Structure 1
Amino acid sequence: MRAIWKGAVSFGLVSIAVRLYSATEEKDIRFHQVHREDGGRIKYKRVCSIDGDEVSYDDIAKGYDLGGGEMVILTDDDFADLPLTTSRAIEVLEFVPVEQVDPILYNKAYYLEPEQTAAKPYALLRDALTNTERVAIVKVALRQREQLATLRVRENVLVLNTMLWPDEVRAAKFDILDEDISARPAELAMAGSLIESMAADFEPSAYTDNYREALQEVIDAKVAGREVVQPEEAEEAPAAAVDLMAALRASVERARAARGEAAPAAEEAAEEEAEEPTPIKKTAAKKAPAKKAAPAKKTTAAKKTTAAKKSA
């Protein structure tokens, strides 16, 4: 690796001379624009949009678009007076708990290698960060720009992570999430089962860029003049289920089948119980109070007998 920057970490009154190296590299396959007929490279000229003349690099300045066709032109003299430190120093501002730094702020990563004379203070800062479980918040001038960054430890090496400024992170504002949306307990339980069935330790080396590998195969085949072997098509994903519980259950079964696992009997019973509707309690109807029996009416024959006795 080639060092892209040399300077020092300013840690209180301690100065640690370091070299900066890019910790990552993009593996994307890059292409040039060429003429389809003969493979000639396509070149672009720097042409002024007003007079049509080609412009040399010496005559190019920076312009800030105000809108409405107005442009403010800035020269090297305008940039010379800006408060950008020219010292090659990584200034430690404070030490914060690692969990307080939102990963969304991280931008690029660089390794710090100590100069031969700075190995001991380098190890001191590295071990102190490890023991306290904190990261150093620093400021550094890189590529004509002042940047906020962190110093942390990775595999026994100090890593400088440049960060976005807080106003460079967009607010996540989605009206649909302002609504009161919540999952049912049964759905949460099933989602938990799905997570557990897919739980694993993260091994970055287990993942590969299949598209890049296939594209490289196409390029190699072109160079060798052989036929390109089409990769096997991936298994089509099943159609999305309309019912959320059905989709979760199918996902759990699929994940377990891939691992050769079976659902625990206790869990199956819990899932069935979660799906059963709550029984409606029947309230016994109250009996109406019994009515008193009305006195029996005398019949016509009884009335005649009573009249005959009276006449006698």
Structure 2
Amino acid sequence: MHSMWRGSVSFGLVNIPVRLFKATETGGIHFRQLHKACLTPIAYKKYCPRCEVELGPDEIVRGFEYAKGAFVPVDDEDLREFQGRRAETIDLVQFAEADEIDPMMFQSAYYLAPEASGKKAYRLLWKALRESGRVGVARMTLRSTESLALVRASDLNGNVLVVHALAWPEDVRSTEELPYIREEVDIDANELEVAESLIRQLTKPFSPDDYRDENRARLESWLGERRGELAEQTAGKAGAAEVVDLMEALKKSLQAAQQAEKPREGKRKKRKTS
């Protein structure tokens, strides 16, 4: 596992040197786009339509479009200078109850691991969050983008601090245009009682290990079968080709032998007439 960021967690006058790691990864089956004729993966080229040239990495810069077709170019050094200390720090600005933050705001999840010099302070923060039942609200900058973040203590897979990037409130879309959600609907008391009874019946402690990606398993099985079929077809074609090639070689060998035999027969006949 490779760290994607190094910096520190700051709260009050305490700074904890840490490294950041992605906590989740995209699972499932991934497909690539191929050229139908030869099954070769297609390539995407970065191309400037104005200059009509393909571009290399050192020829590409970021830009902000402030008007249609008009840009302000911005490079990494500009961003680092603008962000200053925040680019290297997760600043804990307050603490709160976990249920005060709507899960709608949750985005990517990351693990925080301490550097050697920060082990004690890291464990202190983890223990304080764990025993208080609270979470830290922070500001952090990843990949040149500043976001809100939630820092919490987890013991699901080791005693680790977990960081969740949060959406800014203005980035959470309004529900104003959703249909019917503000309409009053009469709910029968008996229906509500049955629904609550069903919820109680199906309620149990949540364990992630109880769930697996069933669709991924079925797709992997199907792809395995498909791969076997393709291998058989390929072997069959190769075998047929070998038979054809062998037969062709035998015919040519026979023709060559017959051609070589004719002069000998002619010579034999000549000797008999003399």
**TM above 0.5:** yes
Write out per-residue CA displacement over residues 157-216 of structure 1, whole angstroms, 9 at most, x where no aligned residue: 111111111111011223523322230212211212222232232222112212111111
1:73: Cα distance to partner? 4.2
Which has the larger strand fraction? 2
Match of 1:212 in 2: 216
Q: What is the rounded CA distance, in whole Å, between the counterparts of 1:210 and 1:77 in structure 2?
A: 43
Match of 1:169 in 2: 172
Match of 1:85 in 2: 84
Q: Residue 53 and residue 121 in structure 1: after superposition, are their counterparts in 2 closer, same or farther (change >3 A)?
A: closer
Match of 1:234 in 2: none
Q: Residue 141 and residue 210 in structure 1: after superposition, are their counterparts in 2 closer, same or farther (change >3 A)?
A: same
1:119: Cα distance to partner? 1.5
Q: Does 1:72 align with 2:71?
A: yes
Match of 2:261 in 1: none
Q: Percent same amino acid at aligned positions?
A: 33
Asked if structure 2 preserves the Cα contact closer than 8 Å seen for 1:4 and 1:21, the reply is yes
Match of 2:45 in 1: 45
Q: What is the rounded CA distance, in whole Å, between the counterparts of 1:195 and 1:31 in structure 2?
A: 38
Q: Residue 135 and residue 190 in structure 1: after superposition, are their counterparts in 2 closer, same or farther (change >3 A)?
A: same
Q: What is the rounded CA distance, in whole Å, between the counterparts of 1:220 and 1:100 in structure 2?
A: 47
Asked if structure 1 preserves the Cα contact closer than 8 Å seen for 2:63 and 2:73, the reply is yes
Q: Residue 61 and residue 121 in structure 1: after superposition, are their counterparts in 2 closer, same or farther (change >3 A)?
A: closer
Q: What is the rounded CA distance, in whole Å, between the counterparts of 2:200 and 2:124 in structure 1?
A: 41
Write out per-residue CA displacement over residues 36-68 of structure 1, whole angstroms, 9 at most, x where no aligned residue: 22221211222333353333333333344567x
Q: Residue 213 and residue 77 in structure 1: after superposition, are their counterparts in 2 closer, same or farther (change >3 A)?
A: closer
Write out per-residue CA displacement over residues 132-164 of structure 1, whole angstroms, 9 at most, x where no aligned residue: 111111111211111211110110211111111
Match of 1:133 in 2: 133
The structure with the largest alpha-carbon Rg is: 1
Q: What is the rounded CA distance, in whole Å, between the counterparts of 1:80 and 1:22 in structure 2?
A: 23
Q: Residue 80 and residue 4 in structure 1: after superposition, are their counterparts in 2 closer, same or farther (change >3 A)?
A: closer
Structure 2 gap ranges (5+): 232-274
SS in 2 for 1:99: helix
Q: Structure 2 length as normaliser, TM-score? A: 0.74
Asked if structure 2 preserves the Cα contact closer than 8 Å seen for 1:63 and 1:71, the reply is no
Asked if structure 2 preserves the Cα contact closer than 8 Å seen for 1:109 and 1:162, the reply is yes
Q: Does 1:27 align with 2:30?
A: no
Q: Residue 169 and residue 52 in structure 1: after superposition, are their counterparts in 2 closer, same or farther (change >3 A)?
A: same
Q: Residue 54 and residue 205 in structure 1: after superposition, are their counterparts in 2 closer, same or farther (change >3 A)?
A: same
Asked if structure 2 preserves the Cα contact closer than 8 Å seen for 1:61 and 1:73, the reply is no
Q: What is the rounded CA distance, in whole Å, between the counterparts of 1:175 and 1:223 in structure 2?
A: 46
2:162 to 159, 165, 177: 159
Q: What is the rounded CA distance, in whole Å, between the counterparts of 2:79 and 2:35 in structure 1?
A: 42
Which structure carries more relative contact order (alpha carbon 8 Å, separation 6+)?
2
Q: Residue 66 and residue 138 in structure 1: after superposition, are their counterparts in 2 closer, same or farther (change >3 A)?
A: closer
Considering only aligned residues, what root-mean-square deviation do their CA atoms show, in Å? 2.4
Number of residue pairs matched by the alignment: 226
Match of 1:297 in 2: none
Asked if structure 2 preserves the Cα contact closer than 8 Å seen for 1:7 and 1:89, the reply is yes
1:126: Cα distance to partner? 1.0
Match of 2:197 in 1: 193
Q: Residue 224 and residue 118 in structure 1: after superposition, are their counterparts in 2 closer, same or farther (change >3 A)?
A: same
Q: Residue 11 and residue 75 in structure 1: after superposition, are their counterparts in 2 closer, same or farther (change >3 A)?
A: closer
Matches within 5 A, 1:96-111: 96-111=96-111
SS in 1 for 2:41: coil
